[in-house]
Structure 1
Amino acid sequence: MAARVALALLLAAGLGSCVRYEYEHEIWLDVDGSGRVNVTGRPELWARFKGLAADTDEEALARRARELFERSGLRVRRVDLTHRGGHAYLYVAAAFDDVNRLGGTAAFPDLRIALRPDGDRLRLEGAWRPASRPPTPAGTDGLMAVRFHLPSKIYRHENAPGGVERGNILSWRQEVAAGAAGRELAFGAVMDRRSIFYSTVGLFAGAVLTALAMLATVVYFVRRKGRGDG
């Protein structure tokens, strides 16, 4: 069993974004704590981990998922149901104003998350853990994950198996069976308080101003020399 888990996680780390998850939280985070979140998973896993009752009526299921997120204070951008490998997958995309308010809401009873200042840096910490609910019939094959798209330079992380992935992404993974058995999936990282985007814009603006200053200096001396020759 241990060898099978290790092999699954090794393959996930190696394949990165090519891995398909049976249950996934994917979060795009800004330095001010706002951001976006996508949750994708088989309906029976939504039922097991979030208490959203599964329904063969896909329109009713999508409507209840939207209501669940809106009731938790998120702005829902999209709700969809797709199919692959003979399974249905419920997908919800939403925006939030403060990541610190997500955990423990009706939409995220299985998530504990905090983003707080740590000197001149930001510390992200938390865990995914199943809510205390009676087991529901659900396949436990495949992998589950919590993934973060972080906005600034990452100084360190807490055992993300794939390290910092392309796009400044950190991912934590485990088998669905482990989650269904109650195993917590802890995550954490320390990052810069300045976003990569605004740092890049600042550097670019500084370079432009320096170039303009140099150009102005050259023009000044050329014009001065021209008056002297005249």
Structure 2
Amino acid sequence: MRARLALIVLAALIFASCRSVLSVKYEYDEEVYLALDGSATVYVNASVPALVALRGVDLDVDPHARLDRVRVAALYGSPVTNVVSTTSSRRDNRRYVHLRIEVTDIAQLSQAAPFAWSSYSIERREPLMFFKQVVGASSGRDVGDVGWRGGEMVAFRLHLPSRVSFHNAQGRTIERGNIIRWEQSLADRLKGEPLAIEVHMETASILARTLTLFGIMIALALSTMALAIWWVMRAKGYPGL
């Protein structure tokens, strides 16, 4: 009976923990899909008030105001970035924007004004790649009462292409899909509390390693099959064997 009760309690705790993780909603979320050649796809998902307060963009924080998506795209467009898509949504009486941005060199991303609060570097030193991002001061603009309650969070997430040998994220966990996240309270981000992001990863992508292993396994299987055929034919006394 005690064992069953313990299992029930454990299952409830695990469920609550998973639900908590899945229900995290960020006021600002910067999500980077990084490639080993230094290119990246960047997704920015943020409330309009967060963009105004953190990045100083000139947008109306009124949730009923019309959002000019062309203007939002122009804010993120630059010689080093290509804005692929811009959409919007509503949550908690705030309007949110969602952008997909392509960059050919992540190290140059800070040249685009909305990303200028960060410095980025990526360096190849075999057998590893070293990625670093330091998020600095925010714009700190006052947006008035937009419904923030004090528990809002921001996140910076990396989707990595190869096996990770080191990272400095809180909790030291690598999520399914080779994703690592760094979180900070919105209050700390507004105050400009620095956030340092560092990852060391292998120079061979997971896909390349998988395909190489798959190729080796096929070669071994074919070799074994050929050897078995040769042995059978030899046992049956075929000439020349």
TM-score category, normalised to shorter length:
0.7 to 0.9
Report the Cα offset of residue 15 of structure 1: 3.9
Q: Which amino acid aligns with 1:64?
A: R
- Give the greater-gyration-radius structure (CA): 2
For 2:55 and 2:30, how far apart are their aligned partners in 1?
12
Report the Cα offset of residue 134 of structure 1: 5.6
TM-score (norm 2): 0.81
Distance 1:66 1:94, change over 3 A: same
% of aligned pairs identical?
24
Identify the residue that residue 116 of structure 2 maps to in structure 1. 109
Distance 1:31 1:97, change over 3 A: same
For 1:159 and 1:36, how far apart are their aligned partners in 2?
21
Aligned to 2:80, the other structure's residue is in SS state coil
String of CA shifts for 1:15-48, please: whole Å, max 9, x gaps. Answer: 4453110111011111111121111111122122
Identify the residue that residue 66 of structure 2 maps to in structure 1. 57
Aligned partner of 1:122 among 97, 119, 129 = 129
For 1:112 and 1:15, how far apart are their aligned partners in 2?
31
- Contact 1:49 1:110 (C-alpha < 8 Å) held by counterparts: no
In the alignment, structure 1 residue 67 sits paired with structure 2 residue 100? no
Aligned partner of 1:198 among 208, 215, 236 = 208
Distance 1:88 1:171, change over 3 A: same
In the alignment, structure 1 residue 19 sits paired with structure 2 residue 29? no
Superposed CA RMSD in Å reads: 2.4
Aligned to 1:80, the other structure's residue is in SS state strand
Identify the residue that residue 6 of structure 2 maps to in structure 1. none
TM-score (norm 1): 0.84
Identify the residue that residue 78 of structure 1 maps to in structure 2. 85
For 1:12 and 1:79, how far apart are their aligned partners in 2?
32
Residues 85-164 of structure 1: pairs in structure 2 closer than 5 A: 85-131=92-138, 133=139, 135-137=141-143, 139=146, 141=150, 142-161=152-171, 163-164=173-174
Aligned partner of 2:219 among 195, 205, 209 = 209
For 2:101 and 2:91, how far apart are their aligned partners in 1?
23
Distance 1:21 1:79, change over 3 A: same
Structure 1: stretches of 5+ with no match in the other structure: 1-10
